[in-house]
Amino acid sequence: MPEMPDLEVIAEVLGRKVVGRRIASAKVLRPLVVRSLPDGAEPCALLAGRDVREVSRRGKFLLLDLGDGLWLAVNPMLAGSLRHGSHPLKRLTRDYLSLVLSDGTEIAYHDTEGLGKVYVTRSLDLVPGYTDLGPEPLAPELTAEAFLARLKGFRGEIKGVLTRGALVAGIGNAYADEILFDAGVYPFRRVSQLSREERLRIFRSIQDVLSGAVAELRELIGEETDALHRGTMRVHLHKGEPCPRCGQAISEIAARGRITDFCRACQPGSLFG
Ligand SMILES: [Zn+2]
């Protein structure tokens, strides 16, 4: 599942390829994931003839600014991606939307799981989940003090709080594991039990882990927009392997419908404490 670092770099790459191009034609290849808000107007009619002004990212959304207040907002969820290449692209079964551009290239929204969504809207506030997003994790205004103040409003286990996107946007299961390992904090600690020092460590780890991942992914992703490259993960999906800090085997807990990997020595705690 793409998270903030992946989508940040994909937005940069796609922006270099498509900004300034006009959408000559649009076609929905498979229904269900493409919808226009608020009224369900024919999305292709809204898209045709639009210029791509900018490609950006907010939380785990990719945003194409189509000018005149119109947006294409992509929520890739587990497996959505935007393919780009010369038109006609080799058609894949799970391509849902095709945009043919004025320079003879094509963007296709591809999704092997079909769980993502593509919205065409004049109001991003109508996009489900968009208004719930917290600040961007690397935004300059998210200072340590601002983070501490925001964290006071949250209850529950720190990993769940990090991944829900309301405290800080764009963090998913994989980077939450990496951030909490970096901070040396047990993933299931309750926010209310965290000391000020631990909260500050989490803040610094959010910044260090995510900015490091963006830099690494810029190298790995190159000019591709549709391959999910995973940056270096120190604990996530490394169950049983030696902890890179202390050497003890990485633990894994499957709970709340997802996998959490961590080091019991470097991130001490218990589900009952
Ligand atoms: Zn360790």
Residues whose CB is less than 8 angstroms from the CB of residue 240 and which lie 6 or more positions away in sequence, other chains included: 249, 250, 252
CA dist 188 and 217 (Å) reads 28
- Choose among 124, 23, 6, 14: nearest CA to 73: 124
pLDDT of 273 reads 56
pLDDT of 88 reads 96
Residue 8 half-sphere exposure toward CB, CA atoms < 13 A: 21
Distance 251 CA to ligand 1 centre (A): 10
Catalytic residue flag (residue 258):
yes
Contact predicate 187/177, CB 8 Å: yes
- The dihedral of CA 190, 191, 194, 197: what is its sign? positive
Distance 239 CA to ligand 1 centre (A): 12
> Of these residues, 218, 230, 258, 264, which one is catalytic?
258
- Please determine, for residue 156, whether its predicted confidence score (pLDDT) is greater than 60: yes
Catalytic residue flag (residue 3):
yes
Distance 185 CA to ligand 1 centre (A): 11
- Domain locations in the chain as residue ranges: 4-126, 144-262
Residues whose CB is less than 8 angstroms from the CB of residue 93 and which lie 6 or more positions away in sequence, other chains included: none
Residue 50 carries which side chain, given as an amino acid letter?
R
pLDDT of 228 reads 73
pLDDT of 171 reads 98
pLDDT digits (tens, 9 = 90+) for 135-150: 999 999 999 999 999 9
- pTM comes to 0.95
| CATH 3.40.630.30 is held by the domain 144-262 | no
| CATH 3.20.190.10 is held by the domain 4-126 | yes
Distance 29 CA to ligand 1 centre (A): 48
- The dihedral of CA 155, 134, 35, 75: what is its sign? negative
Contact predicate 170/137, CB 8 Å: yes
Distance 183 CA to ligand 1 centre (A): 11
Mean pLDDT of the chain: 95
> Of these residues, 17, 21, 50, 60, which one is catalytic?
60
Distance 174 CA to ligand 1 centre (A): 17
Q: Do domains 4-126 and 144-262 have the same CATH topology?
A: no
pLDDT of 42 reads 92
- Please determine, for residue 197, whether its predicted confidence score (pLDDT) is greater than 90: yes
Distance 243 CA to ligand 1 centre (A): 5
Residues whose CB is less than 8 angstroms from the CB of residue 117 and which lie 6 or more positions away in sequence, other chains included: 33, 34, 35, 74, 75, 77, 128
Residue 218 half-sphere exposure toward CB, CA atoms < 13 A: 7
> Of these residues, 2, 5, 43, 137, which one is catalytic?
2
pLDDT digits (tens, 9 = 90+) for 249-267: 999 999 878 999 999 999 9
Residues whose CB is less than 8 angstroms from the CB of residue 104 and which lie 6 or more positions away in sequence, other chains included: 86, 87
pLDDT digits (tens, 9 = 90+) for 80-125: 999 999 999 999 999 999 999 999 999 999 999 999 999 999 999 9
> Of these residues, 3, 106, 136, 157, which one is catalytic?
3
> CA distances (Å), 147 to each of 138, 154, 158, in order?
11, 11, 14
Q: How confident is the model at residue 191 (pLDDT cuts 50, 70, 90)?
A: very high
